[in-house]
Amino acid sequence: MTPQEIFEKVDHTLLSVTATEKEYITLAEEAVKAHAASVCVAPSAVRFIKDKYGDSLRITTVIGFPNGYATTATKVAETLDAIAGGADEVDMVVHVGKVKEGDYDYVLRDVSAVRAASEGYVLKVIVETCLLTEEEKIKLCEIVTKAGADYIKTSTGFSKAGATVEDVLLFKKHIGKGVKIKAAGGIRTLEDAEKFIIAGADRIGASAVIKGYYNK
C-alpha cells in the first residue's frame, strides 16, 4: 500500500491530557495535508477545530473516555454536545465492568442509546480488548452489530495494551454485516498500520503514523 492509501484510513489522534490549541492546530494541518480519514480529539477541542477548519476535515471525538463507566445518560449528553459542536464521528467506550458481570443487556442498552443519539453520524464502539476474554470479545461483536454501530474499535490506547492483529481477525470473523473494524493503540508506523489494514481493519487510530511521516 502507498502511504496515501494508509493515511486515508487513519484517524489522526491527539488525546493527551496536556494537549494545547497549538498542538491541535498542528494535528489538523497534518491531517489536511495527508487527507486523513479524520482527526480524533478531546470533546473540548471539537468546536475549536470546527470553527477553524470548517468542513476541510472530519472530526472524531471520544465519549465516556477512557474508562467507559459513565452513566448512559452522561454518554448520551456527551454525544449530543459533541455533534452540536461539529463532530462527525464519535468513539464511545463500553462499560467494561458490566461486560465482566455478564450484564450484556446493560451494555446493549448503553450502546443503543448512544447509537440513537448519534443517528446519521458515525459511531465506533471501543471495547478495550486487552481487558477481555475471547468469549467477551465475541459477545461484544454481537452487541455492537445488534446496536447498529458502524465500527467496533479495539482499544482506547489508555489501558495496559493496544490493538493486536489477532483481535482484528477475531472481530472480522464475528461482526455482522455492515460493521467495520477500527484498530487503535500502539500503532506507530506505516508498516504497523498496513499490517492491521491487511488483517481487516478499515480504520486506524494513531497519533504517530502521519506525524512520523511528515516529521522525519
Does this model's pTM top 0.85? My answer is yes
Domain that holds residue 10: 3-214
Establish whether 195 is a catalytic residue.
Answer: no
List, for residues 156-190, the tens digit of each pLDDT value: 999 999 999 999 999 999 999 999 999 999 999 99
Q: Which of 153, 167, 180, 192 is catalytic?
A: 153
List, for residues 104-137, the tens digit of each pLDDT value: 999 999 999 999 999 999 999 999 999 999 999 9
Q: Which of 137, 180, 182, 211 is catalytic?
A: 182
List, for residues 52-90, the tens digit of each pLDDT value: 999 999 999 999 999 999 999 999 999 999 999 999 999
* Measured CA distances, 167 to 24, 42, 99, 170, 175 (Å): 30, 26, 17, 5, 12
The CATH number assigned to the domain holding 143 equals: 3.20.20.70
Q: Which of 9, 75, 88, 91 is catalytic?
A: 91
* Measured CA distances, 25 to 56, 61, 149, 200 (Å): 13, 15, 30, 31
What is the SS3 assignment for 191?
Answer: helix
What is the SS3 assignment for 196?
Answer: helix
Establish whether 177 is a catalytic residue.
Answer: no
Please count the structural domains in the chain.
Answer: 1
Establish whether 91 is a catalytic residue.
Answer: yes
